[in-house]
Amino acid sequence: MTIGAASPLCTWLFAACMSSAVSGFADDASVSSGPSGRPSGSRLRRRNASSKRLAGASWSVKTDSVQSRSFANVCMGAPCGSGISGLGSYPPFESCPEDDSIRSETGPAGDVSFFGAGLPGLKTRPVQSLRRPVRASAGKAFSVATHPVQPIKESFESKKTSTKPRRVVVTGMGVVSSLGHDADTFYANLLEGKSGVSEIENFDCKEFPTRIAGEIKSFSPDGWVAGKFAKRMDKFMLYLLTAGKKAASDAGLLTEDQMKGLDKSRCGVLIGSAMGGMQIFNDAIEALRVSYRKMNPFCVPFATTNMGSAMLAMDLGWMGPNYSISTACATSNFCILSAANHIIRGEADIMLSGGSDAAVIPIGLGGFVACRALSQRNDDPSKASRPWDKDRDGFVMGEGAGVLLLEELEHAKVETCSAIPTLYISCFDFYYLLFIS
């Protein structure tokens, strides 16, 4: 339904006149309220009757097959008795010059009139848009919308892309541990039931109640890490770089000739650490006791857990997804799972994933001893780690790194000659509350 409207000035004048006329129906302006400030019963009835008589004078216009009422009727919605002060009479309505071109129509049979017969001589024109309703207040005329705004219905088509499932396989493995520094030796010692737990030798731990750990006795990064970095990096980064490059070498993707034709923008590194560079940070604190000038300028970046993945990616030139995850004892599991998801989603074709830690140092051992979390079976180190035994008295610390090279199956068939399917299981770290007295 379209609303007819006059010019803004004529609209205002007409609204003011209608409101003033409503208040003018009373015999006297002073009788609008009783002694108590409220209209008396007889005066209220006369006021209501006056408003009804005024509302009977209405008019309507019609456009093509659309029936509407004029904007004048809308403006007549002012509450009774809310006339504008200073307007005591009802002046005749005169159209503005700019309205001369507006066609007027009387209300013949079939036209819809909301309040009765139309007002003769009033010219209107249809408007294209609905006026927004104005909140009514005392002493002011207001207008209301006569046609509800219809919401625009938009149809959304579901865009589902059907993609072939991408299978993830393991094509390379690298390890640095107390049971061996290559995958074959490590696996053989596991099958033989050998234990990598022994008495700590890298520092004096006689004052600690726990003096055993899965410590790496002999390790050399020669041939895997550049000498200038080997002197500055924390051990967890040295373990990470060595194990990561061993995994890439196991898959035949280490040298530039082997990586020739490989899209390095689709090769990423996601290797995490639970503790990060504890030794290099501890050394920086000891140097700070003397002077800040004695501190290693790389102590802050080399202590962060993500720097190992970053250094390995820069060394290999891989520019795919690169970050680290730190979730305590479940760090490696989450890194492997997340790396596999990158391949499944098509964000990468190759991912190095795993974890690395080197916390068997005085501050690391002392921290776990303080919360009474470590086993104290110093006389029998090989049997100290017994997670499901009723006589368990704590866990055993260890250090090292383990890295898997994950690859998309079809990509692996082209780049490598063998592939090892694997199953990924995500598990959370086990938390428990210690009551220390």
pLDDT digits (tens, 9 = 90+) for 368-378: 999 999 999 99
What SS3 class is residue 61? strand
Average pLDDT value for residue range 40-68:
57
Query: What is the pLDDT confidence band of residue 228, given thresholds at 50, 70 and 90?
Result: confident
pLDDT at 423 over 70: no
* Extended strands (E) in 6-141: 60-63, 66-69, 125-126
> Which sequence spans correspond to the domains of the chain?
4-126, 168-421
Tokens of 100: 């001369």
Q: Does domain 168-421 have CATH number 3.40.47.10?
A: yes
Query: What is the pLDDT confidence band of residue 413, given thresholds at 50, 70 and 90?
Result: confident
Instruction: Tell me the residue length of the chain.
Output: 437
Mean pLDDT of the chain: 74
Min mean pLDDT across 26-35, 181-190, 207-216 is at 26-35
Q: List pLDDT tens digits, range 126-161.
A: 545 444 554 544 444 444 445 555 655 555 555 554
Q: Bridge partners of 407?
A: 169, 350
pLDDT at 19 over 90: no
Most confident of 35-39, 50-54, 340-344, 386-390: 340-344
In this structure, are residues 375 and 385 in contact, taking their beta carbons and an 8 Å threshold? yes
What's the pLDDT at 414?
79
Query: What is the pLDDT confidence band of residue 10, given thresholds at 50, 70 and 90?
Result: low
Percent of the chain with pLDDT over 90: 48
Angle at 427 between CA 426 and CA 428, to 5 degrees: 130
In this structure, are residues 120 and 60 in contact, taking their beta carbons and an 8 Å threshold? no
Min mean pLDDT across 19-23, 27-31, 196-200, 304-308 is at 27-31
What's the pLDDT at 17?
61
What's the pLDDT at 198?
94
Average pLDDT value for residue range 109-116:
43
Whole-number Å distance between alpha carbons of 154 and 156: 6
Query: What is the pLDDT confidence band of residue 256, given thresholds at 50, 70 and 90?
Result: confident
In this structure, are residues 179 and 189 in contact, taking their beta carbons and an 8 Å threshold? yes
Q: Report the DSSP pairing between strands 66-69 and 60-63.
A: antiparallel
Query: Considering all CA atoms of the chain, what is the largest pairwise distance in Å, rounded to the nearest integer?
Result: 115
Tokens of 437: 């007295």
252 phi-psi bin (left φ>0, alpha ψ -120 to 50, beta other): left
What's the pLDDT at 232?
86
C-alpha distances (whole Å) from 302 to each of 119, 240, 285 are: 88, 13, 14
Per-state percent for the chain, helix, strand, coil, to nearest 5: 30, 15, 55
Q: How many CB atoms lie within 10 A of CB 47?
A: 19
pLDDT at 389 over 80: yes
Query: What is the pLDDT confidence band of residue 164, given thresholds at 50, 70 and 90?
Result: confident
pLDDT at 81 over 60: no
Percent of the chain with pLDDT over 70: 59
Tokens of 411: 């990509």
Min mean pLDDT across 14-23, 111-120, 176-185, 273-282 is at 111-120
Task: Determine whether 357 is exposed, middle or buried from the number of CB atoms within 10 Å of its CB (0-12, 13-18, 19+).
Answer: buried
Average pLDDT value for residue range 417-431:
47
Among 9, 12, 37, smallest CA distance to 99 is for 9
What's the pLDDT at 227?
85
Average pLDDT value for residue range 206-218:
94
Whole-number Å distance between alpha carbons of 360 and 399: 7
Min mean pLDDT across 15-24, 43-52, 210-219, 341-350 is at 15-24
What's the pLDDT at 274?
94
